[in-house]
Amino acid sequence: MLSLSSLSPGELRRRFDGPGLVLRTGPFRSRIRTDIHALVDTISLLYADYPVDEEGFADFQLHFASTHGWRRWLRPQVRFDQDGLRPFKPLPLSQAHPMFEWVMNWCVSNKAHSYLVIHAAVLERNGRAFILPAPPGSGKSTLCAALVCRGWRLLSDELTLVRPHDLALVPLPRPVSLKNASIGVIQAWDPQAVFGPAVPETSKGTIAHMRAPRASVAAAETTAQASHIVFPRYEAGAPVRIEGVAKARLFTRVADNAFNYTVLGATGFDALARLVDACAGFDFCYSELDEAIALFERLAGES
């Protein structure tokens, strides 16, 4: 299988500038075109292990272009269009890669309605998959990155894909998005982790993405079964603690984090009800990553 890293820099530029590079992430194929060389370089770094396809079908058609004319010199920007539509405002050119990641998430959450799509990280250990829904600023991605650095399989940092008929969790391993202080925390936690460039002054602050492990990318066709749904929350100085969540409350909280729950109607209700019934639900508070990892390891090791 051809991987992105097997293409020469010249071939990469030819594809990105011309017909588009067809990148495979989990069950999706995206045809990506761009004239922004810095974006090509960052994609090449963070997606080196991902399969690429020759010309053919793609689920998503993505075009990222730099602005021309006077803006090119005075206020350089990146714009995104999909099949001639421009659903997002242009961003500063320096934010081309964050825009790329946000667009990839948007495509799945708005179009992949063959799955119940939950805004949550999902990781697997010892055959047990943990779904981690949480709002921005909760420390979810920091915890996700730390678990990945300790050998947990990454299925996704942002989007949990639940196949309704059998509740299989379909992997969508992509780079882990970290913000502000979390970037330095994880770089210190695992100096071997590979990061793309830190991009300041985005709408979410400074953002950098950590490359997904090669083993997680290679296992992208291997589904998992959920055993735990954990709502993490970072709280400075707090001792690690975990509390059970009642099933009825667990259902409503996960539904609140599902992008397409109402779109799927009865199918979404049934899938979510069965998912909640199959999982133990917890609220989890932490301040120290070592303590958080130890607790998750205990949960993953329970028979």
- Its domain, for residue 85, covers 4-111
**97 shares its domain with 155:** no
Span of 73-77, 94-98, 150-154, 196-200 with lowest mean pLDDT: 73-77
Q: Which of 94, 111, 128 is the endpoint of a domain? A: 111
**40 shares its domain with 185:** no
pLDDT at 67: 75
For 64-115, what is each residue's pLDDT tens digit?
999 765 556 567 899 998 877 788 899 999 999 999 999 999 999 999 999 9
**202 shares its domain with 107:** no
**149 shares its domain with 52:** no
Q: Span 190-206, mean pLDDT?
A: 96
Q: How many domains does the chain have?
A: 2
pLDDT at 54: 77
pLDDT at 303: 44
For 215-257, what is each residue's pLDDT tens digit?
999 999 999 999 999 999 999 999 999 999 999 999 999 999 9
Distance CA 130, CA 194 (A): 24
Query: Which pair of structure tokens corresponds to residue 251?
Result: 């259902």
pLDDT at 72: 60
**202 shares its domain with 292:** yes
